[in-house]
Chain A
């Protein structure tokens, strides 16, 4: 019997209309766990670099995490993996809620889509019964509207739905996949749309078994209370802490302007009371005691769920206010648009207009000029509404902007490239502009493959503690940290960088925890993202092995887990290397920090590559790959001339 997982994937060929239930190799769980890890293996095996992301041969994979649907609380993340037309690289996103658990209860660990349907379809999974159905009646419908229609249509109020809105239908690169209170972004919605999948609806009523039930229950049941009582997990910034962190520290507009004097106590209180008014309730994800998601009812909009820092991304992009943000998410979430990339792309377009690079010809009837209000909105807010419609429908200039900032800047030309100042690897970054280069962050930004810093940072604290006694206290009960980090944290003084060596390890530890979470499905807010604030994440590298072992029956210890994370990290890097990723791509935006240390930065990169067992172009060496059991990767690299025949002359 397979434990924690079902042992079956669902293979859907949309071009041929075929549906297969395929048994998987249990060895892969030992090597890659599940989720993103096993998805990466499938992408490696089946999508060679010659396949363009918009070719039918590209795959779109929905993966449950290994611990999903077991008694382990907070393991509910579903990974979506594919290749992105925006970056040309591997594209990965996670979403919470209830979809993955339902899929596992239906008897599948993954859904693997290949090919393209000739017209819009939806997939209906009802345990063993799986159908590809016509979705032409859903064309143009909002993502949640679609969910409601489908539950009614199949007569299953308990089914779970993941759907795209019109942005996905129109192959907008920043399209998201929406589900219940969660969404998947960073380039996966466009592929769902390109394959003409409007939605997946799933209902599952089968058992998911675990290997060592008594032991697993003993450590899992107390976790609910531990997590609930732990103030340092969940999304505390969304929840009660107020908005000052983001408002004061993140940049406004097209990621340029800090407004540290802007936010007053009074304003903060106004914002909090507006939220209280709009919020119907806080909700959680499957089997998690935290409640990070606000159910919002904004007048005139379909009720929706707000999470993370999306309540400010539009407001800050538009120099607008909170009310505007809650208003516009009511639209963008139905359209299915990434709340990080979309506002940045729009702010970029507004800057181009102000600079005269885009004109009234490109933007007919564009709201303005500055200083006026338009139907009660500030000018920029009105412009945001205008551009959201154009982008979601790929109308006029929207067709260009829908390709993301990097490509749009080059298509528009005429100096627009200079306004693309906040992308890495062609992908829009969180709008953060700071003073002095931060070594660990330099490495995380430069070498990350998950495209957004929130998916890379998170275990080592963001800031040192000034008071020595407090620092010692912090380190004393820091169960999540390997010993070496305690020493480095003790040595870390305010306004200093950790040593180069420490910085390399910090980057490594931070990303490792994400590679663990993204394979087993534990939420980053309970694990990889949360150690950086408070240092007390409920899950960490020392207690997770027991959960995995008891659930799956496969023995894991801390070293073993770290090794799987390393294997997955290298395999994902290999996917990108095969698509041309190299050292030249590995750099944060030039203006991310005002003061840089170019030489030290390059030294850091050298050290990090060496530590990782990569050559100085950032390519894993044959030795590194072979040690991880990735001989098939090194062989491929040698065949393609990416690595030399003889290990000796690697440089």
Chain B
């Protein structure tokens, strides 16, 4: 590829806030799909998509878990859309220290949407499959762009948060210990 650009598939989940009925089926499907074995348990607190609902304000915002951040951001946004006020953090995908979303309820480790990566590949991500009213829709398109590194996996994100919490030395020690015993 002479120009250094490469075609890549961009996967996108479109969110239409007006169509969301607040049923939380997406949370159920996501947490079920990521249970081991698959669907052996459900627990919305483990879901990588959460629907932020403030029902008296007509606020319904499905948000998928993005990156982990060690600390809260220093400049939060709040939005008013069509006269409706959305609380700060409503649209934020970050697993950050200020919220209990997107953290595993047992380990506290951050959760991140992996687009339901699986073998064989799902026709559509689980959350989209169960969202019949099309509040969530799945689009794939080709884009030309820098051949960049793929999205960071769960292990990387999890490890990084452990490093942040306990320091690199402790984590390295533990990993070498584990590698001896396992």
Q: Does B bind A?
A: yes
Enumerate chain A interface residues (CB-CB to B < 8 A): 69-71, 73, 98, 105, 144, 148, 157-158, 180-181, 204-210, 213-214, 216-217, 221, 224-225, 227-229, 280-289, 291, 295, 297, 302-303, 305
Any chain A CB within 8 A of the CB of B130? yes
Which residues between 60 and 81 of chain B lie within 8 Å of chain A, taking CB atoms? 60
> Which of B39, B43, B58 is in CB contact (< 8 Å) with A205?
B43
CB-CB under 8 A from A206, the residues of chain B are: 43, 45, 105
- What is the minimal beta-carbon distance from A638 to any residue of chain B, in angstroms? 46
Q: Do B38 and A289 touch (CB < 8 A)?
A: no
- What is the minimal beta-carbon distance from B116 to any residue of chain A, in angstroms? 13
Residue of B nearest to A222 (CB): B129
> Which of B37, B43, B55, B60 is in CB contact (< 8 Å) with A208?
B43
CB-CB under 8 A from B32, the residues of chain A are: 71, 213, 217
Any chain A CB within 8 A of the CB of B22? yes
Q: Mark B93-132, 1 if CB is under 8 A from A, else 0.
A: 0000000100001000000000000000000000001101
Any chain A CB within 8 A of the CB of B180? no
- What is the minimal beta-carbon distance from A563 to any residue of chain B, in angstroms? 29
Interface Cβ pair total, 8 Å cutoff: 109
Residue of B nearest to A147 (CB): B56
The 9 closest A-B pairs by CB, nearest first: A205-B45, A228-B132, A284-B23, A213-B39, A217-B39, A207-B41, A205-B105, A213-B40, A284-B21
> Which of A207, A213, A227, A284 is in CB contact (< 8 Å) with B43?
A207
Residue of B nearest to A303 (CB): B56
Residue of B nearest to A305 (CB): B55
- What is the minimal beta-carbon distance from A523 to any residue of chain B, in angstroms? 12
Indicate the member of A144, A229, A289 with the most B CB atoms within 10 Å: A289
Between A and B, 21 residue pairs with Cβ closer than 8 Å are A71-B28, A71-B42, A105-B44, A157-B54, A205-B45, A205-B105, A206-B45, A210-B39, A210-B40, A213-B39, A217-B38, A217-B39, A224-B25, A229-B132, A281-B18, A281-B21, A284-B21, A287-B28, A289-B21, A291-B23, A303-B58
- What is the minimal beta-carbon distance from B27 to any residue of chain A, in angstroms? 9
Chain B: how many interface residues by the 8 Å CB criterion?
34
Q: Do B130 and A286 touch (CB < 8 A)?
A: no
Residue of A nearest to B36 (CB): A213
Any chain A CB within 8 A of the CB of B49? no
Q: Do B37 and A214 touch (CB < 8 A)?
A: yes
> Which of A69, A70, A288 is in CB contact (< 8 Å) with B23?
A288
Q: Do A221 and B130 touch (CB < 8 A)?
A: yes
Q: Do A289 and B23 touch (CB < 8 A)?
A: yes
- What is the minimal beta-carbon distance from B121 to any residue of chain A, in angstroms? 16
| With contact pairs A71-B28, A73-B25, A284-B22 given, residues A289 and B42 touching in the complex (Cβ less than 8 Å) | no
- What is the minimal beta-carbon distance from A250 to any residue of chain B, in angstroms? 28
CB-CB under 8 A from B25, the residues of chain A are: 73, 224, 287-289
Any chain A CB within 8 A of the CB of B162? no
Q: Do A283 and B132 touch (CB < 8 A)?
A: no
> Which of A98, A210, A214, A287 is in CB contact (< 8 Å) with B41?
A210
| With contact pairs A69-B42, A105-B44, A210-B39 given, residues A286 and B24 touching in the complex (Cβ less than 8 Å) | yes
Q: Do A281 and B60 touch (CB < 8 A)?
A: yes
Residue of B nearest to A218 (CB): B39
CB-CB under 8 A from A291, the residues of chain B are: 21, 23, 133
A31 CA to B52 CA, complexed, in Å: 39
